[in-house]
Structure 1
Amino acid sequence: MFISKMKISNFRSFQKETEFNLVRGINLITGLNGIGKSTILALLTNSTEFKSTNPLEKPYLGDAFRGEFSDVILYDEKSDNYAKNSINKPKSVIYFEDRPSTNLGQYPLSHTYKSSLSSTKKQVTSHKKLKLTAQLLKDIKKDNSFLQSSNQILVKQINKKEIPRFRFLPDSRTINGKQTRAKVTWPTLYLGLSRVYPTGENDSAEVKEIPSDTFLSDLPQIHKNILDEKFELADVTTNSIKGSDAKKYGSGIETENFGALSNSIGQTNLGQILLAVKSFERLKSSLGGEYFGGLLAIDEIDATLHPAAQNELLKYLYDESQKLNLQIVLTTHSLSLIDFFYDLKSLKKNDDYLQVLQLDYKSGSNDIEVVVNPPISRYTNVLTKRMGSLTPSQPKVKVLTEDDVARWFLEKLFEKFNALSSSSHLTNLKLLDVSLGWENLLKLINSDYEYYKNMISIVDPDVSEEKINAKSFEYIEKFNFNKSGGNLFSIPGEKSIENIFYDFIFSESSNKMFEQQKLRNQNITRDMMKNDLVENKELYKDKKNHGNNNFSVKQWYKHNRDLMEYSFDFLFEVNKEDYFKWMSKLNTSAKTISSLLKS
């Protein structure tokens, strides 16, 4: 089971209803500070819980698989003071998929949670200075030797203070014929790494060894691999650390040379993550067929970890997510981690297990939009936009193309490259809205080499090097056709862009595309497309050559533009290696020319 969708409304930055989907594997949420990333984690982990008296079904750190909303979100009287019966009370709706086939009442399709404000009394300890005469203080010291150096005496006072209790409570639902307001029974854990206090900030700390078991036997090795630590695995123990402040807890490893209290914050954070994952592993073993996965939320996973360690940890979490049917939701500000995440996504080719969500403000408003798998350049631009003049802009390199079809295709290709490369210079390319046949385009750039050497020209895929050389243009050779750092390129392929799509759609290469639910819902199949060619043959005739009854692939492409938009991603995946190799060369040219223009 996993949480497939979430809606939030009337709460903090999510005043307008905001809806987004989650994948069953790893969801990486990024965005500016204060935009609502932690709010999402708090609401997600508040929605379910799993309690058990069986020690094997409890986390290694903690008493139950649950997220405490109050540990993340504190009540703010100014922003959270809603009338008790207000119709605009903060609300979240959680949607579940792949629910267990038994007892569906316990596992609803969706569950709604609304804010609730009450109060509770908390024990507060204070110290009051006793008002004593000099003689009385002297007499007290005389009878209590440990007070000899004291100039005053404090008396401990314990009082009850009423504090607000702000929660999100589930709506009532029916389970086995009975009404209940219980949360959905499903294990969840929340780790707020940026909120972990260094052990040294406690007045004292209690260290206890966590007894090793089958599940923890490889934890020291995993810990060592991720952080590239230099210790021997023999005699390594894993310890829990509980500070004098009850909420300050963590973990640490102990070796022959150093103890748990000497662990860095990064080591402590990693220990907590690994123990959380191991908790789910132990739970799965204990529950057997009654285990339906779980949710692990980690706030600011990059906090205190070296970039190389972040990457190794991400690979580990991906593998464990699949093994344990564990849905993981992470937040980060790290550009290097986002970059690596996209590399991993490209390598694994598994969109069901890897997704980036960027939170941003809609243009001209304070409303939140959620962008799915944005190009890295988008997030970088958001950051640099806030930095203003601190980041110098790069000059745009002008690009000549044959027509609007080529420009659309190139924009789609560049978007893919920008999303997977942290060093893309294709964002500095400006596709000019000028249409020229390839021969006229070559004549133009050949007419003034000194001027056009600081521009890039891209011709269609059906323009080969042989065709170009046959024209014997004087300066064309200087443009270094299809070479890194060159100025003249042809889009990969041997046919026109329209023919490339035509061949793809009517070949077995597009099988995966036609299997998608979206096309099936519209009854779009390859056979239907073939019938369409016959039924609409008049529509697809060559309109430019009167009296010509021949089929025109350009007309077919024009009248099926929506399908071309949809099929691009699938066409790209089939030819990804060739496209990336070509765009890498183009990227070098964009970088070189942009630097020349800047100088």
Structure 2
Amino acid sequence: MIEKIMIKKFRALKNLEIGLGENLTAIAGQNGTAKSTILGMIAQPFEITGKKEKDYLTEEDLKKSLITSKSFNTKFKDIFKLSPVHDSHGESRGKEDHYHYELYFNKEDEIIYENPLQVKGNPRDVPPYLRLVAGKTRDAGHGNIPYPVIYLGLSRIYPIGESQKLENKDDNLTTEEEEFYKEKYKNILLLTDENLEKTEMVEKEKVTTLAVSTTTYDWRSISAGQDNIGKIIASILEFKRLSEKSNYKGGILLIDEIESTLYPRAQEKLIEFLNQQASKLNLQVIFTTHSLEILERMIIDKKYSNSKVNFLTKKYGPLVVEKTNSIEELRNNLLVLPTGSEKKIPKINVYFEDQEAEEMLKNIIKTKSILQYCNFLVLELGAPQISAIATKINELKNGIIVFDGDCKISKEKGTIKKNMKKHNFYLYLIGDKSPENMYLDYLDSCSSSHDIWKKTLRSYGRQNYLDNAPLKTKRNRENVKKWYKEDKKYFGTDMNRLYKTILNEDKNLVEEEERFKKDFVDKLKKCYNETYGMIFLK
């Protein structure tokens, strides 16, 4: 497995280190930052045909594993487009290290005869103007390493609709493979209503692809995005077949501009699929991308902890790899915005009965990277009134409604539950009281010697509380809210000091808070996905 590539000199690239993840590796950056060149450099030192003594897979094993690919090797001319002026003897004559890079492997293997593996280029005066040679010497058994590689270039997305010559034939998939293909195809593209019928091999002008027909249209009508997904899944199936061979050691799948022709959510579903398969098949998936959705997911989501993002930039002059975990910095670079510029983030409306409920939620969900996706709105209505209109007004129907905790035991709880039956995104705050009454009941229970008066509320003693708080017998909605509004300045931002003190003394509330957090974030993600077709990943 490749750990990193060190580029000493290759065209405009000089002294660059590209780290590779165990599962996924993203190579990102603006156009003209040599992303595709690096992809090709990784592919070139590997070759397996099954015809050489050092090949650990037989020619028959390799052939039987192919579906749409021609081989498990890459062709130099399919990746590099070279210049007779800059890539021939002309510029590089006499410069031994004009093309020189090294691959580092994270573990020794009998097929790895040299670590790091040196790769150098021999310029020529005739096409393809350059030959890359692996290994320090030309000793027997050296040269390219016998390891299966599939390279998917942009020719894979040549539109079926624009092809002048098309030919289809039956694929050689097993029933299990066809079911795998259909399941993953539908899952990535979120085709909930499509009934997939038959998969077919399609020969188009540039490449062979794996397409599928449905009950309403056949493979000739599929979009470029559907075609793209079909080709990628077919490549995974090829490695899946290889993995069943006893001598299989792993492989490399390289994809240029992985997000091409795919909408944002499908991009995220695709890398989720590839991450799972990479882990199962001992496969390194390395791709180039401009997709902010893909980069954000890989940087923030913990499931991609075995993956890496390399961001190439010319912002400082010479091309460098920017070492950052900030999606904001990458976004600003790709959008050519000044550092510190903020992109307007789409938000989900979150509705509350009153301000007290909004402030309690901010104490529960303290993470700014979650809260930034929320637009808080106070309705100043009771729970029964809100529930009565929750599914009749689009703004409420498409948002999240947070009821006070007392709704769980109120006499109207049956009515609220019935009204909210068709609303997917509502929940109750912790406890079984409204926030303001929870605070009052707790302070009532604190004696004069309680630490809260000495440590937490130094400027607000029990006497102040008794003087300002409404009597228990007169705690109507109006009096309680008046106390909250006038005295909350003594209890920290949004009553946070009092809220923390209560939770420190009540383990049941702590457990309830954890359940609420998970429930709220789950609902926010689902609501965000339904509304905007994408998911936030903070």
Q: Provide the TM-score with structure 1 as the length reference.
A: 0.55
How far is the alpha carbon of 1:488 from its aligned partner?
Answer: 13
Cα deviation, residue 69, structure 1: 3.2
For residues 239 and 255 of structure 1, do their structure 2 counterparts lie closer, same or farther at Cα, with a shift above 3 Å needed? farther
> The residue matched to 1:323 in structure 2 has which SS?
helix
**Partner SS state of residue 10, structure 2:** coil
Q: Which residue of 1 aligns with 2:106?
A: 97
- Matches of 1:111 and 1:310, distance apart in 2: 33
Amino acid at match of 1:219: Y
**Match 1:171 to one of 114, 129, 135:** 135
Q: Is the aligned partner of 1:12 residue 2:19?
A: no
User: 1:116 aligns to what?
Assistant: 122
Q: Distance in 1 between matches of 2:201 and 2:24?
A: 28
In structure 1, stretches of 5+ residues that fail to align are 121-162, 395-416, 426-462, 495-576, 585-599
1:85-133 deviations in Å (ceiling 9; x for gaps): 3134122211122333xx35x543221112233366xxxxxxxxxxxxx
Equivalent of residue 189 in structure 2, options 219, 223, 227: 227
- Does residue 80 (structure 1) correspond to residue 31 (structure 2)? The answer is no
Name 1:593's counterpart in structure 2: none
Q: What's the offset of the Cα at 1:329?
A: 1.1
The 1-side partners of 2:251 and 2:156 are apart by: 23
C-alpha separation in 2, matches of 1:319 and 1:64: 24
Hey, what does 1:306 align to over in structure 2? Answer: 263
Q: 2:210 aligns with which of 251, 260, 263?
A: 251
TM-superposed deviation, 1:195: 6.6
In structure 2, the residue matched to 1:481 is 492
Shift of 1:181: 5.3
Give the drift of 1:259: 2.5
Quote how far apart the aligned CAs of 1:476 are: 8.6
- The residue number in structure 2 matching 1:22 is 20
AA in 1 matched with 2:314: Y
What amino acid is aligned across from residue 288 of structure 2 in structure 1?
T
Mapped contact 1:58–1:64 kept (Cα < 8 A)? no
- Say if 1:96 and 1:108, in contact at 8 Å, map to a contact too: no
Cα distance in 2 for partners of 1:465, 1:45 equals 68
Q: CA, structure 1 residues 367+392, in 2 after alignment: closer, same or farther (shift >3 Å)?
A: closer
Q: Which amino acid aligns with 1:471?
A: S
- Find the aligned partners of 1:392 and 1:169 in 2 and give their Cα distance: 46
SS in 2 for 1:80: coil
User: Superposition pairs for residues 447-458 of structure 1, below 5 Å?
Assistant: none
Distance 1:489 1:18, change over 3 A: farther
Question: Relative to 1, partners in 2 of residues 1:388 and 1:255: Cα closer, same or farther, differing over 3 Å?
Answer: same
* Pick aligned residue for 1:40 from 38, 41, 61: 38
- RMSD (CA atoms): 3.9
CA distance in 2, matches of 1:276, 1:114: 29
Which structure carries more strand by proportion? Answer: 1
Q: CA deviation at 1:58?
A: 4.3
Query: How far off its partner does 1:294 sit?
Result: 0.7
% same residue: 26
Question: Number of residue pairs matched?
Answer: 375
Match of 2:332 among 352, 376, 381: 381
| Deviation of 1:270 (Å) | 0.3
Q: Aligned in 2, Cα 1:207/1:165: closer, same or farther, shift over 3 Å? A: farther
Structure 2 unaligned spans of 5+: 51-58, 345-366, 375-450, 465-485, 505-513, 522-538
Contact 1:194 1:299 survives alignment (8 Å): no
Q: How many angstroms apart in 1 are the aligned matches of 2:222 and 2:310?
A: 33
**8 Å Cα contact 2:67/2:172 also seen in 1:** no
Who is 1:239 aligned against? 201
CA contact (8 A) 1:241 1:250 kept: yes
Instruction: Say which SS state the counterpart of residue 239 (structure 2) adopts.
Output: helix
**Counterpart-to-counterpart distance in 2, 1:478 and 1:95:** 59
Offset from partner CA, 1:302-360 (integer Å, 9 cap, x none): 111121211221221111111101111122212122222234x32x3x63x22222222
- For 2:284, the equivalent position in structure 1 comes to 327
- Give a deviation string over 1:411-438, Cα, whole Å, max 9, x none: xxxxxx89x779589xxxxxxxxxxxxx
Residue type of the alignment partner of 1:8: I
| Aligned residue identity for 2:30 | L
- Asked if 1:368 is matched to 2:320, the reply is yes
Per-residue deviation at 1:45? Answer: 1.2
Corresponding residue SS for 1:48: coil
2:457 paired residue among 455, 458, 469: 469
| CA displacement 1:272-303 (0-9 Å, x = unmatched) | 11011110010111x21x11111111122111
Residue 389 of structure 1, CA deviation: 12
Q: What is the Cα deviation at residue 265 of structure 1?
A: 0.4
Aligned residue in 2 for 1:146: none
- Give how far 1:480 is off: 6.9
Task: Quickly say closer, same or farther: Cα 1:487–1:113, change in 2 above 3 A.
Answer: farther
Q: Tell me how far 1:9 sits from its aligned partner.
A: 2.8
Q: How does 1:393-412 map to 2 (within 5 A)?
A: none
User: Displacement, 1:78?
Assistant: 4.6
Equivalent-residue separation in structure 2 for 1:97 and 1:172 (angstroms) = 19
SS in 2 for 1:94: strand
Distance 1:375 1:252 in 2: 38
